[in-house]
Amino acid sequence: MSAHVSDLTASLLAGWGPGTVSPWIAAVWGVYVLVLALWIVRQRREPVATLAWLLALAWLPVLGWAVYWWLGPQRIRRRRLKRQRARSAFHRAPLPRPGEMVADGRERLIEASTGVAPTQACRVDLITGGESTFEALFSAIAAARHSIHLEYYIFEPDSVGTRLRDLLAARARAGVAVRLLLDGLGSRRCSPRFLAPLSAAGAEVAWFHPLRLGHLVWRPTLNLRTHRKIAVIDGRIGFTGGVNISDSQSERASAAAFHDLHLRMEGEVVSALQLAFAEDWHYATGRLLTAAADWPPQPPGGIRCQLVPSGPDNPLAPIHRLYVDALHTARQRVWMMTPYFVPDAAVLLALTSAALRGLDVRLLLPNRNDSRVVRAAARSFYPELLAAGVRVFEFQPRMLHGKALLVDGDTAIIGSANVDPRSFWLNFELSVLFRDTAVAAALERRIAADLAQSAVVPPGWQPGGWRAYADSFARLLAPVL
């Protein structure tokens, strides 16, 4: 039997020898690989990513091309132009600009990479949990007199989504301008039938990268989603953070609802939030929001903050740069909260370096995760984090969904971005940088309360048995998670 297998193997290998390949096929394949290499290398991506794409496309021409067409970086370059046109339209519009402030180094980094200057807020509320967020949001919407602008990644046609839809329809019938921008993938369950009451009431509904057949075939955008959660009421009250419109985030609907963090803000920062929505709205619909009523004068405030929009249209990756800069320049402590932790080399180096410098570095992650692959990938980083002195905590009661970074006693970063390649490079995200001791203290209390409900991963922890292999294989997928 063994000899028979050996003979069969030898015959197969001989059949695939150089003599069986047509010179024309070899020549065409050689030209194909050369052109391919010149094209991909010209894009100046990370060396590992460039080599991976080149090998995939060279050895799997048909399948490789399909994967590259759907998931590759070329679509990001083509989309960037339309996003830039949307932004330039607002730069030409006579919109009020926030008060001039002298930026420090970190704020200059954000302004240089986003074009968004530091500004102020007169009120900032940190809201814990989905139902508390819905209560504050629905109350503000019910009191709206002029406009309601909402942008969400996930808007489910469940009890929470129905409550909000009916409330929006009621305000639209009362003469309030309602504009709802939904992500085509995250909100794909919102059918035309479910949204019909909004349109009938006079509200405008638009889709960010809709999942129509033509879009999927000719303009595949599965990775280029708006992960932002934005609500601006009458141009004066703004909401952003991690809470989507879904029963999965409502404690009223489920005892296992995601444990999340959201922001309610007033002051000049709301104009910056309105601008982020307006750019996305113009990008999706081609319509400008330049009416004076949409940009009211804002009350002064003493809470220093700065909006940080990020997305695949911006090669400078502002949120990624902000995280790395904050970690490297921290002086006493770094407390990080994120549901999806798949750090790249820069973030991992910055985190471990902060711990090696003797700082109080704590990483809060969920014990229960809605993605087993992401959880396994996150755990693959535990040994090197623990070895450097990072204290890792796993939140026990429910799925932790808040996204925040606390640095020292005066810096807080809160928003929609996770610590993973998808948030840093592929999705449109939005964070808020606060340089304020009161906001930092509020975030400290929130994280401390969550740490009290978390299990500490012991120093020296190592995965055992089959889990070690599962975690390692999951880590191989880190660049695409």
Q: Are residues 204 and 135 part of one domain?
A: yes
Residue 159 is assigned to a structural domain of this protein: yes
Both 129 and 167 in a single domain?
A: yes
CB count, 10 Å around CB of 333?
Answer: 15
Q: Would residue 273 be called left, alpha or beta, if left means φ above 0 and alpha means ψ between -120 and 50 degrees?
A: alpha
Instruction: Indicate the helix (H) or strand (E) that contains 434.
Output: strand 429-435
Confidence (pTM): 0.85
Q: Please check whether residue 12 lies inside any domain of the structure.
A: no
In a domain, 246, yes or no: yes
Q: Which pLDDT score, from 0 to 100, does residue 363 have?
A: 98
Per the domain annotation, does 171 fall within a domain? yes
Judgement on whether residues 290 and 339 belong to the same structural domain of the protein: no
Q: Cα separations (Å) of 277 from 71, 137, 143, 248? A: 26, 16, 20, 24
| Residue written as token pair 């814990």 | 128
Helix (H, G, I), strand (E, B) or coil at 461: coil
Give the pLDDT band of residue 49 (cuts 50, 70, 90).
Answer: low
The neighbour count for residue 388, using CB atoms within 10 Å, is 17
Count how many domains the chain has.
3
% of the chain exceeding 90 in pLDDT: 62
What is the structure's pLDDT at 2? 41
| Tens digits of residue pLDDT in 417-457 | 999 988 998 899 999 999 999 999 999 999 999 999 999 99
373 lies in the same domain as 451:
yes
Say if residue 195 is in the same domain as residue 295.
yes
pLDDT of residue 9: 38
Q: Which tokens belong to 204?
A: 């405008």
Mean pLDDT of 140-150: 98
Range in 64-68, 199-203, 307-311, 347-351 with the lowest mean pLDDT: 64-68
Q: Which residue has the higher pLDDT, 244 or 95?
A: 244
Q: What is the largest CA-CA distance in the chain?
A: 87
- Is the per-residue pLDDT at 332 higher than 80? yes
Are residues 184 and 281 part of one domain?
yes
pLDDT of amino acid 4: 44
Residue 334 CB partners (closer than 8 Å, separation 6+): 326, 327, 351, 354, 359, 360, 361, 362, 405, 406, 407
Is residue 249, in this structure, part of any structural domain at all? yes
Q: Is it the case that residue 114 has pLDDT exceeding 60?
A: yes
56 and 100 in a single domain? The answer is no
Q: Residue 190 in contact with residue 221, Cβ under 8 Å?
A: no
Pair 288, 343 in one domain: no
Same domain (yes/no): 341, 363: yes
- CATH for 476: 3.30.870.10
Query: Of the candidates 301, 335, 360, which is a domain's last residue?
Result: 301
- ∠ CA 214-245-195, nearest 5°, is 50
* Selection from 389, 169, 314, 155 nearest residue 249 by Cα: 155
Give Cα 477 distance to the centre of its chain.
18
What angle is formed at CA 31 by the lines to CA 29 and CA 33, rounded to 5 degrees? Answer: 70
Give the per-residue pLDDT at 370: 83
List, by residue number, the catalytic residues.
Answer: 227, 229, 234, 401, 403, 408
Domain boundary among 301, 336, 366: 301
User: 266, 301, 336 — which closes off a domain?
Assistant: 301
Co-location of 338 and 467 in the same domain: yes
Please report the pLDDT score of residue 101 as a whole number: 61
Report pLDDT for 471.
75
How deeply is 289 buried, as exposed, middle or buried, from its count of CB atoms within 10 A (0-12, 13-18, 19+)? buried
User: Does residue 274 lie within any of the structural domains?
Assistant: yes
**Roughly how many angstroms between the first and final C-alpha of the chain, as a whole number?**
44
C-alpha angle 270/274/280, rounded to 5°?
150
Mean pLDDT of the chain: 85
For residues 66-92, average pLDDT: 57
Q: State the pairing for strand pair 147-152/333-337.
A: unpaired
Residues 339, 198 share a domain:
no
- Euclidean distance between CA atoms 451 and 445, whole angstroms: 10
By residue range, what is the domain housing residue 67?
Answer: 28-72
Q: Per the domain annotation, does 113 fall within a domain?
A: no
Rg (CA), the chain: 25
Would 23 be classed as within a structural domain? no
> How far is the C-alpha of 288 from the C-alpha of 147, rounded, in Å?
14
If phi > 0 it is left, if psi is from -120 to 50 it is alpha, else beta; for residue 389 that is: left
Q: What's the order of all strands across the beta sheet hosting 123-128? A: 123-128, 261-266, 237-241, 230-233, 147-152, 177-183, 204-208
The H or E element containing residue 82 is: helix 74-92
- Do 205 and 263 sit in the same domain of this protein? yes
For CA atoms 375, 377, 378, 380, give the dihedral sign. Answer: positive
Is residue 118 packed enough to be buried (19+ CB in 10 Å), middle (13-18) or exposed (0-12)? buried
φ/ψ bin of 235: left (φ > 0), alpha (ψ from -120 to 50), beta (otherwise) = left
**Which has the higher per-residue pLDDT, 174 or 218?**
174
- Is the distance from CB of 276 to CB of 87 less than 8 angstroms? no
Which position has the higher pLDDT, 383 or 465?
383
Q: How far apart are CA 110 and CA 411, in angstroms?
A: 14
